[in-house]
Amino acid sequence: MKGSKMLLGAVEEAASYTANTLQFYTGAPQNTRRKPTSEMMIPEGLAAMTKDGISHTVIHARISLISAIPRNRK
């Protein structure tokens, strides 16, 4: 999701390949600056998914927290 169209642009790209599945990344894990969700064109993208027959999604979210267990844990 990038550019001014965000989710809508990703859906339009997938539809141009007549895809029924959309896979996208929410952002690189090392990037701390995020756009507000209100700017991501989510309602427009969801409407376009329905219109274009895209019924499956795979979303890769950024890793913002990595938990670890100490090796000497008892």
Q: How far apart are CA 49 and CA 65, in angstroms?
A: 30
Q: Is residue 41, in this structure, part of any structural domain at all?
A: yes
Q: With respect to residue 51, please indicate whether it lies within any of the assigned structural domains.
A: yes
| 31: in domain | yes
71 found inside a domain: no
Look at the chain and report how many structural domains it folds into: 1
68 Cβ contact partners less than 8 Å away, ≥ 6 residues apart = none
pTM of the model: 0.72
pLDDT tens digit string along 5-62? 999 999 999 999 999 999 888 777 777 777 888 999 999 999 999 999 999 999 887 7
Q: Is residue 38 part of a domain?
A: yes
**Helix ranges, the chain (H):** 6-16, 42-52
How far, CA to CA in Å, does 12 sit from each of 2, 45, 48, 50? 12, 8, 8, 12
pLDDT score for 34: 77
Instruction: Let me know if residue 19 belongs to a domain.
Output: yes
Residue 1 lies in a domain: no
